[in-house]
Amino acid sequence: MGEVLAGWWHGANWTFVAWGGYYGLLLCFERILHPRGVLERLPATLQRTLTLFLVMMGWVLFRSQTFSGALRYYGMLFSPGFSASHLPGFFTIGVLATGILAVFAEAYLPLKPRFTVSLALGFAGAFLGCLVLIFGNDASPFIYFQF
């Protein structure tokens, strides 16, 4: 219920409420699966990847104006013809590579003394820099203007 209210707080649009409800359902599933040890049996990297995937799918609801827009975006995202061709290739590769490195970096921090926290922060900074270069030219409207 709290997640649905958090979604409603973000705006008077049903997609925000659905966004909150989606995260509420994810928390319910986690509470059901955690005592059974289902999630712990998965490799740590797969756990992180699954979490990131599920969170990113929720953000589609948050950014969509309508449910049909969200469904259309999900359809484009999972269709064989989906392409990031509108993004500059160099930056797209940089973002993907840095993101992949960041996912694996946390797992190796305790194992490799040379792989320090500052190096991990460097990867995170590079990732954010790539995102700024890719999306920095587009002006985004303030999301709370209707609230």
- The domain locations on the chain are 1-82, 83-147
Q: Are 62 and 10 in contact (CB under 8 A)?
A: yes
Catalytic residue (choose from 10, 69, 92, 126): 10
Nearest to 115 by CA among 130, 101, 131, 96: 101
What pLDDT was estimated at residue 9?
A: 56
What pLDDT was estimated at residue 82?
A: 58
What pLDDT was estimated at residue 11?
A: 60
Q: How many CB atoms lie within 10 A of CB 54?
A: 14
What pLDDT was estimated at residue 67?
A: 82
What is the chain's pLDDT, residue by residue, as a tens digit (147 residues)? 565 555 545 566 777 788 888 888 888 888 887 777 777 888 877 887 888 888 888 888 888 888 888 888 788 777 776 565 555 566 667 667 777 777 776 666 666 556 567 767 777 777 777 667 666 655 555 555 555
Q: Are 73 and 64 in contact (CB under 8 A)?
A: yes
Q: Are 102 and 123 in contact (CB under 8 A)?
A: yes
- Positive or negative CA dihedral for 34, 30, 120, 106? positive
**Cα 146 from Cα 28, distance rounded (Å):** 30
* 10 among known catalytic residues: yes
Which class for 65: exposed (0-12), middle (13-18), buried (19 or more C-beta within 10 A)?
Answer: exposed
